[in-house]
Chains A and B, each alone.
Chain A
Amino acid sequence: MNFFRFSLEILRSAVVDLGRRPISSGLSVVALTVALFVLTVFLILMHGVQDVLTRWSDQAAIEVFLSAPVDDPQVVDLLARLEQEPAVRRVEAISSGQALEEFEHLFPDLGDVESLLGENPFSGSLRIVPAAPDTQEVSRIAKLARGSTVAEAVRYDRQWLSSLARLGRALGWFMLVGAVVLLFASLVTVGSVVRLALDDKREEVELMRLVGAPASFVVGPVLFSGAFLGLLGALLALGLAAAGRHFALDAAEATSLGVLAELILGRGLPAVEQVAIAVVGALAGTLAAGLAAGRAALR
């Protein structure tokens, strides 16, 4: 039997089967599209949130306010120890004079603060920039600094970042669970459509068996229908997600949310993950069709 001709017959049979039930086929595509759209949006947001967290983490620093001048041997020792930490990217020593200068530069209207107060109110400090946005490591570094006798106070703005990361993770799980539930529901829908199509052509299937059509000719169109529905759903989901992203970016551009929208949505979904979603769609459709048909097509 010519393989190419045989495959064409399977393809033709699958398309005819789908065409016979346009409404239910359409409904399964919609169900799969919704499920995979949620999954795609989830991935885009996760990538965006991850990028934002990384950027903010890069900008965040641990401030160690010192009870001694920056050239004090204990401070120099602390600085050296911090610089040796792999979790630390760099450490800057800021003297009380530099801190005053910085303040006066930022707030020139306040005039000469030292003369006004009779002394420089700023203490020296160490500004530690972490190597990575790892909240556990940051906490460890802060603890290390706090343990020094010359550290008067340690302040780091990691707690809200940590909360944001937790929120991001929770949101991610919520969307992932939602996408899985929707995907399962859409698999059941695809399975039902395939089962209905099989019931509809029970006589044909019976005849195919009696005339000696190979099992692959009976099962092939069933699996292909499922794969086709799944792939179509995935492509629609990707298209909708891309259109939605562009729309959101355009809409947010003129508002105060523009920068945030660009940060979160600007990168979009990498090509590899888009292909992966298309493959997941096709495989999910095939799996649903295969499970729904089961041995019914072979008996």
Chain B
Amino acid sequence: MIVFDRVTKQYRAGEPALRDVSFHIAPGEFVVITGPSGAGKTTLLQLVYRELVPSSGRVVVDGRELAEMSWRQVPALRRRIGIVFQDFRLLPRRTVAENVSFVLRALAWPVSRRRERTRRVLEWVGLAHRAHDWPQSLSGGEQQRVAIARALAAEPRLLLADEPTGNLDPARSLEILGLLREIHSRGTTVVLATHDMTLIESAGVREIHLREGRIEEDRKVA
């Protein structure tokens, strides 16, 4: 599903964010990208949804090399990817349900299908009863669950989560991890970037550990 072939990403100033990174993620895998701050985790995810293009090497997603993709083709790629951020990125002037259905509206889903899908994903993350509340009135964990619901709304085949537990306490972090594992169990490929090592120990998944832009370790967590 995702292939990184000797990928280097160099920003204009400073050291490369990624150096000669190669790995392969198969469909249906649950992969956790770990490493300290500045290791290149976010850069790696941004390369997957083509927010960035590599300075050298190849990034292939679903058989398409992203550097060869024109900007007109990027939306089609992103429609197949759900993205969750550390800071949730919920729209404050829209209710919980509107935040979720907003994605489907942007993709021009019919109203009835939109309502049904929104209800279903909110039920799934356990927030159907908060559908008409404002995001500010929710706890951090609940806000992140809304963000996950939004990422899942358009039925993506791949879910990218960039430090989704970064703003949450340990209990809420485990709750979010549980939700991501459930999503994975339903067949979605999940790539989670985190610096929270305790989260990994409880995950039992594949870990790719980055340090200073290089892969230090690629292992299956027991």
Check B75 against A214 for contact (C-beta < 8 Å): yes
The residue that B110 contacts in the complex, of A5, A208, A210, A211, with Cβ under 8 A, is A5
Decide if B206 is an interface residue (CB 8 Å cutoff): no
Check A210 against B102 for contact (C-beta < 8 Å): no
Closest to A208 in B: B106
Decide if B79 is an interface residue (CB 8 Å cutoff): yes
The residue that A207 contacts in the complex, of B77, B80, B91, B110, with Cβ under 8 A, is B91
C-alpha spacing A71/B83, complex, angstroms:
103
Residues of A with C-beta under 8 A to B49: 210
Residues of A with C-beta under 8 A to B154: 211-212
Number of A interface residues in the complex (CB < 8 A): 19
Residues of B with C-beta under 8 A to A206: 89
C-alpha spacing A209/B79, complex, angstroms:
10
The residue that B106 contacts in the complex, of A5, A203, A211, with Cβ under 8 A, is A211
Residues of B with C-beta under 8 A to A207: 89, 91, 102-103, 106
The residue that B108 contacts in the complex, of A2, A203, A298, with Cβ under 8 A, is A2
Residues of B with C-beta under 8 A to A298: 71
- Chain A contact surface mostly: helix
C-alpha spacing A229/B106, complex, angstroms:
23
C-alpha spacing A215/B74, complex, angstroms:
10
Q: Which of B54-86 contact A (CB under 8 A)?
A: 71-72, 74-81, 83
Decide if A6 is an interface residue (CB 8 Å cutoff): yes
Closest to A6 in B: B108
Decide if A228 is an interface residue (CB 8 Å cutoff): no
The residue that B76 contacts in the complex, of A208, A209, A210, A212, with Cβ under 8 A, is A212
Given contacts A2-B108, A208-B106, A212-B107, whether A203 and B79 have CB atoms under 8 Å apart is no
Give the interface residue-count category, chain B: 20 to 34
Residues of B with C-beta under 8 A to A208: 106
Closest to B109 in A: A5
Residues of A with C-beta under 8 A to B74: 212
Closest to B104 in A: A211
C-alpha spacing A298/B71, complex, angstroms:
9
Given contacts A5-B110, A211-B154, whether A204 and B79 have CB atoms under 8 Å apart is no
Check B107 against A1 for contact (C-beta < 8 Å): yes
Decide if A9 is an interface residue (CB 8 Å cutoff): yes
C-alpha spacing A215/B107, complex, angstroms:
11
Decide if B105 is an interface residue (CB 8 Å cutoff): yes
Check A204 against B102 for contact (C-beta < 8 Å): yes
C-alpha spacing A214/B108, complex, angstroms:
10
Check A212 against B79 for contact (C-beta < 8 Å): yes
Minimum Cβ distance to chain A for residue B69 (Å): 12
Closest to B80 in A: A212
Contact with B along A190-225 (1 / 0, CB 8 A): 000000000000011011111111110100000000
Check B108 against A210 for contact (C-beta < 8 Å): no
Closest to B107 in A: A213
C-alpha spacing A203/B150, complex, angstroms:
15
Given contacts A207-B102, A217-B106, whether A212 and B91 have CB atoms under 8 Å apart is no
Residues of A with C-beta under 8 A to B71: 215, 298
3 closest Cβ pairs, A-B complex: A212-B78, A213-B106, A212-B79
Interface residues of A (CB under 8 A from B): 1-2, 5-6, 9, 203-204, 206-215, 217, 298
Q: Provide 8 A-B residue pairs closer than 8 Å at the C-beta atoms, listed in order of the A residue.
A: A5-B108, A5-B110, A6-B108, A207-B106, A211-B79, A212-B78, A213-B75, A217-B106
Known: A211-B83, A212-B154, A215-B72. 5 other contacts (CB 8 A): A1-B108, A5-B110, A207-B106, A211-B103, A212-B74
